[in-house]
Structure 1
Amino acid sequence: MALAIGDKVPQFTATDTNGANFDSTTIIGKKPLVLYFYPKDNTPGCTAQACSFRDQYEDFLDLGAEVIGVSGDSLASHQKFTKQYKLPFLLLSDSDRKLRRLFGVPTSLFGMLPGRVTYVIDTEGVVQYVFNSMLAGQHLPKALAAVKKIVAQ
C-alpha cells in the first residue's frame, strides 16, 4: 500500500552515498524533506532530475529542507554518480527494494522500470505532497512549491 498525503512516514534505514547507515529519524520529523525515488543512476532522465535538484539545492536549504534521492543502484554506482555530477545531497541505496515497498512506489512501463515518485514530508514526519510521474523535469518545481507551502504554514 502506497504512502499518501497525511500518512506518517515509518522509520527506516538504508546505506547512504558515504557508505554509512542512514537512519530516517535523523531528518524525518526534524526538518522538511524531499525524498525522491528514481529509476537508475546515469540515465538521461535520472541525471537531469538529479542535476536539477543539485542546481537548486541551496533553495531547499534556505527553506530549512533537505533533499535525498533513492534508487536500487549499488553504493559504488551512487558514489560514481555523485562524484561525476557533484551532487551535494545524499543518495540512498535500495538494492533490495525495501524502501520502494515501504513507500509503495509503483513500477512503470508494465512493471519493467522502477517508478519515479517524489514525496515531500513536513517537520512532523507527515507526507504533505506526492508526485508520481516519469517526467523527470516536473519533479523539482513541484517539490520546491510544496516545501514553500510547508514553510509558510
Structure 2
Amino acid sequence: MTAPQPGERAPDFALPSTGGLVRLSEALARGPVVLTFYQEDGTPACRSQLAAFRDDYDVVRELGASVLAVSVDPLAAHQAFAEQLRPPFPLLADEGGAVARAYGVYDPEQRRARRAVFVIDRDGTVRLSIPWYNPASADQYEQVFRSLGVAPEG
C-alpha cells in the first residue's frame, strides 16, 4: 500500500494509547490532526522527533490541531517512554503494524513503521504527506506547521 497523498482520504483507525483508546475520526471531530509515525520508543532520533512536537505543542493547539504519535511498540513500552518524554499527546500502540501498513509506512524488513508525518483535515482529507520524515530536517518540520497555517519560531 502506498502512502495517502494530499487530497486523498486518510484511513480511519482505533488504537490503544497512553491516553486510552484513540479513534482518528473522533480526534478529527475536534480539529485537524498531525499524525506522526515513529520507529521505536526510546531511540535518540525518535526522542528528537517527538520532543519537537512536544515543545511546539502550544502552537499546534493554538491552530486548533492535535498530535497523535504511532509506533508498533507495545503499550507498556509507550508508557515507559511517555514517562521520560512527557508528551502532551498520546502515543498509540500499532502492534502488528496494521495502521502503518494502511498509511504505506510499514517496513517489513525492520518490522516497524518508518518515520512519517501526515496532516489530516477535520473532514479526513490528507493535507500534507511526508512518508519519509527526517526529524533533523527543519524544512520538513516547517512544512507541517505551514500546512496548519503558520511556521514555528526558532
Instruction: Give the shorter-chain TM-score range.
Output: 0.7 to 0.9
TM-score when normalising by structure 2: 0.86
Give CA deviations for 1:106-145 in whole Å, capped at 9, x if unaligned: 439xx33631110001121100111133521334322111
**Is the Cα contact below 8 Å between 1:49 and 1:140 reproduced in 2?**
no
Name the aligned partner's letter for residue 89 of structure 1. Answer: F
CA distance in 2, matches of 1:36, 1:21: 17
Which residue in 2 is equivalent to 1:124? 123
Tell me, which stretches of 5 or more residues in structure 2 are unaligned? none
CA distance in 2, matches of 1:134, 1:7: 19
Structure 2 counterparts to residues 39-58 of structure 1, below 5 A: 39-58=39-58
Which residue in 2 is equivalent to 1:63? 63
Give CA deviations for 1:33-92 in whole Å, capped at 9, x if unaligned: 100111001101000011111100000000000011000111111111111011111111
Name the aligned partner's letter for residue 69 of structure 1. Answer: A
1:137 aligns to what SS in structure 2?
coil
Which residue in 1 is equivalent to 2:144? 143
1:104 aligns to what SS in structure 2?
coil
Tell me, which stretches of 5 or more residues in structure 1 are unaligned? none
- The number of residue pairs the alignment matches comes to 146
1:16 aligns to what SS in structure 2?
coil
Structure 1 consecutive aligned stretches of length 4 or more whose deviation exceeds 4 Å: none
Change (3 A) 1:114 1:27: closer
